[in-house]
Structure 1
Amino acid sequence: MGRLPVDALEPGMVLASDLLGSDGKMLLPKGMTLTDSLIGSLRKRGVPGADVADSGGGDAGAGDVTEALLQESAAHVVRRFLANDLSHPAIAALYEIAVMAQAHALAEGVPIVPEIGPNPRAESMGDLFFREEGGVEDLVDSEVKLASFPDIYFKIRQVLDSPVSTSAQVADVISKDTSLTAKLLKLVNSPFYGLPHRVDSISRAVIVLGSQEVSTLALGIAAMNAFKDIPPELINMRTFWEHSMAVGVFARLLGDAVAGKGSERLFVAGVLHDIGRLVIFKKLPHAAVEAIYYAKGNMTPLCVAESEVLGFSHPLIGGLLLKAWKFPEALVTTVSCHHAPSSSPGDVEAAVLHLADIMAVALGHTPPASVMVPALDPDAWATLGLDPDRLAEVADAGRDQIDEIVGAFFPVRKN
């Protein structure tokens, strides 16, 4: 079809080539299907036009989305959003993005994956902690005392807490853990950072990113290894971490969209935002299963079901746990408030993590046993001051980054 002026673009048209902005940065990739919100965003940005594929040929796949597939996609996706107001501009934009993404997957022959409930054997598991034994703080304290936390975490913490430590010492401590080093270097060299030159050592990573940033990433990755003994009947750990990494990617990208720069702390907050849920699965497996059934039966987000069944939810547990592990206070607050950012009014990072979690679930990066999109806090959205059209750009930028990072941590695909 060739190049068309922006006013001639229509929803459903497919980009024949990458669409670049005046600064040379990619706005939308080749193969992207245009929507009303994307076309509106291009107008606002002053984009003169775009190359679109001939509807009768060209690169197949992206142009094969039919009205029937869109309807099938919408019927599936709308269930995720039952806890939200679809008339809210941000939710409407995410819903449109999610429907189109699901329709493309269907066009490519990827079937809709059915929801899988807890393994029946999980229902017979007994809780290891009871309310009469103490409060939430006691639950976390018992986990902190029993957890076999990686030694590398404490070694990094010791260096960071020393007033005379140097960047070289930080790099030296991290480099001694070969597994951690490999994961960090894969992350630093991924499209997530988009560095112009390959970084082949932790010392170089410290120079490029800074010792605080690298240390924060290292602490976050080390924390992932603290929960390896949760029965697979309760939770698919790969799926859990895939969701967490998706939230981390979206948090960093949203931080960049809001403040002009994403931080490693936002990425780590995303990776660890649901870590309180692991404590619940580990200490209260029977109650955790009850919460899952409650969420499914009442079509409500799992965090709401946790509060109904347990009297508390995972953000509180996660915040207390990270505080006990001496993570930065700002990160602790962000994690604690990610489902209730209004409890920390005006906190941009809490609002960013809140929206990142919503985006991840909306776009299909769902945590195990929880497919409902958490309710958007309108005040948090107002705090960010984002144009809803930017969400499509963040979603598209995050897609490849998520796959790349998940591949770095989990090189073997799940069945």
Structure 2
Amino acid sequence: MAWLPVDALESGMKLAADLKGPDGSMLLPKGIVLTESHIASLRRRGVTRADVGDGAADAQGDAASLDPAFIEAAAGAVARRFAANDTEFPAIAVLFEAAALHQARELARGMPLPPDFFPSPQAESSSDLFFREEGSVKDLVASEVKLASFPDIYFKIRQVLDSPVSSPSQVADVISKDTSLSAKLLKLVNSPFYGLPHRIDSISRAVMVIGGQEISTLVLGISAINAFKDIPPELINMRTFWEHSVAVGVYARLLGAATGQGGAERLFVAGILHDIGRLVLFKKMPHAAVEAIYYAKANGLPLYAAEEEVMGFAHPLVGGLLLRAWKFPDALVSCVACHHKPAGCKGSLEPAILHVADVMAVAMGLAPPASATVPILDVVAWERLGLAPERLGELAEEGFGQVDEIVSAFFPVRKS
């Protein structure tokens, strides 16, 4: 037992026992990794202390208690992940250390190292439906838009929000008509992502607490998940794809808060959507997409760089064009289109935040096996954030406490 006062708690600590409120109600379960949102919520609820056990130091990054063999094996595996980056650069060095320590802890828990990945033979034999010689990337996106119209509930909500006489109850009424969407939205609102002091049990209450504009942005991201359901499983495990997307959204939101940037929900949704162009490529150019995966592995490249070599363009351009065709807000379109090259989007900090969030997610192993090489960190984008490198390690650990619960709200079955 190691009871600490709430003011001494730090993100990354793990509860050693169920935590109950002053009235005896269950607040947080044993084993959960505390986040800043959790700690702030505990203060609001009048909780004075929590049991973080004897492993508090380990949860904060002390590797002294781990078997050196685990540390060595983890560092070797993580080094391959960082092949395209300079691990001497301070921000990358901090992420490397955080990733290696996390992997070593996983080994100590009996979890194996991630297996090497190769596309299935079925994927290799896939035939492309679009060829560069037959049209431009705009033609590729146009053909996808014709076949897969975006769910219209977001635009119904936007119509209500844009009306000068709209009310929160009208927004809630539109969302409530879609029971599946409502259930997922409520799970998200009640997750550690928000750390609200009281459970939200209705869409109308969610709109009142979080705001109509913010809820509509979340609906945008959640609905996008439903727009791509027919990707062949031999090409990609969709749960790992969306897990990475959620992780980028969570890290973007945390980075936004750390830098004082507003638009938390917009940053989260930008993370949800940032790789959506990859799904178009898997549908229209599966053979070329698989070729890009092999090229990336053979040359130690991030996947977007391999796509440019193999196809002549990469998934950020495709994703940006798709979202523009779907009439998404310009800020989201720019974020998605520029997330690997944020210098191409002038004026806004959000593409830089999304870029660093993507680097963090892949660095920490929250990425599909096919794109496990950490994207090359844009130094200018990183410097624009104005954060100390050590802050990345803290945020990387904090994000783990949110990702899995959010993903489970969308995908109840565990990934294979």
Instruction: Give the TM-score taking structure 2 as reference length.
Output: 0.85
Name 2:193's counterpart in structure 1.
192
Structure 2: any 5+ residue segments left out of the alignment?
A: 17-51, 57-61
The reply on whether 1:26 has 2:10 as its aligned counterpart is yes
The reply on whether 1:98 has 2:99 as its aligned counterpart is yes
- Mapping of residues 123-134 of structure 1, within 5 Å: 123-134=124-135
| Offset at residue 220 of structure 1 (A) | 1.1
Q: What amino acid maps onto 1:273 in structure 2?
A: H
Separation (CA, whole Å) in 2 of partners of 1:19 and 1:357: 34
Name 2:233's counterpart in structure 1.
232
Name 2:76's counterpart in structure 1.
75
- Mapping of residues 83-162 of structure 1, within 5 Å: 83-162=84-163
| Offset at residue 289 of structure 1 (A) | 0.7
Residues 87 and 232 of structure 1: CA distance in aligned 2, closer, same or farther (over 3 Å): same
- Mapping of residues 131-280 of structure 1, within 5 Å: 131-259=132-260, 263-280=264-281
Contact 1:253/1:262 (CA < 8 Å) preserved in 2? Answer: no
Separation (CA, whole Å) in 2 of partners of 1:54 and 1:359: 25
The reply on whether 1:350 has 2:351 as its aligned counterpart is yes
| Offset at residue 27 of structure 1 (A) | 4.1
Residues 346 and 383 of structure 1: CA distance in aligned 2, closer, same or farther (over 3 Å): farther
Q: What amino acid maps onto 2:177 in structure 1?
A: K
Structure 1 window deviating more from structure 2 (269-278 vs 364-373): it is: 364-373
Contact 2:161/2:212 (CA < 8 Å) preserved in 1? Answer: no
Q: What amino acid maps onto 1:26 in structure 2?
A: E
Separation (CA, whole Å) in 2 of partners of 1:158 and 1:54: 51
What's the CA shift string for 1:306-365, capped at 9, x where partnerless?
A: 000000000111111111111111111111110001112452111110011000000010
Q: What amino acid maps onto 2:171 in structure 1?
A: V
Contact 1:346/1:383 (CA < 8 Å) preserved in 2? Answer: no
Separation (CA, whole Å) in 1 of partners of 2:254 and 2:15: 21
Structure 1 window deviating more from structure 2 (92-101 vs 317-326): it is: 317-326
Contact 1:243/1:365 (CA < 8 Å) preserved in 2? Answer: yes
Structure 1: any 5+ residue segments left out of the alignment?
A: 3-15, 33-50, 56-60
Separation (CA, whole Å) in 1 of partners of 2:148 and 2:11: 45
- Mapping of residues 274-293 of structure 1, within 5 Å: 274-293=275-294
Separation (CA, whole Å) in 1 of partners of 2:114 and 2:107: 11
| Offset at residue 98 of structure 1 (A) | 0.4
Residues 52 and 196 of structure 1: CA distance in aligned 2, closer, same or farther (over 3 Å): closer
| Offset at residue 113 of structure 1 (A) | 2.0
Separation (CA, whole Å) in 1 of partners of 2:241 and 2:161: 29
The reply on whether 1:388 has 2:389 as its aligned counterpart is yes
Separation (CA, whole Å) in 2 of partners of 1:320 and 1:407: 29
What's the CA shift string for 1:353-379, capped at 9, x where partnerless?
A: 001100000001012411100000000
Name 1:46's counterpart in structure 2.
none
| Offset at residue 26 of structure 1 (A) | 3.0
- Mapping of residues 256-405 of structure 1, within 5 Å: 256-259=257-260, 263-405=264-406
Contact 1:287/1:309 (CA < 8 Å) preserved in 2? Answer: yes
Contact 2:245/2:275 (CA < 8 Å) preserved in 1? Answer: yes
Residues 126 and 160 of structure 1: CA distance in aligned 2, closer, same or farther (over 3 Å): farther
Name 1:47's counterpart in structure 2.
none
Percent of paired sites with the same residue: 66
Residues 368 and 80 of structure 1: CA distance in aligned 2, closer, same or farther (over 3 Å): closer
| Offset at residue 167 of structure 1 (A) | 2.4
| Offset at residue 260 of structure 1 (A) | 5.8
Q: What is the aligned-residue RMSD (CA, Å)?
A: 2.4
Structure 1 window deviating more from structure 2 (144-153 vs 114-123): it is: 144-153
Residues 31 and 156 of structure 1: CA distance in aligned 2, closer, same or farther (over 3 Å): closer
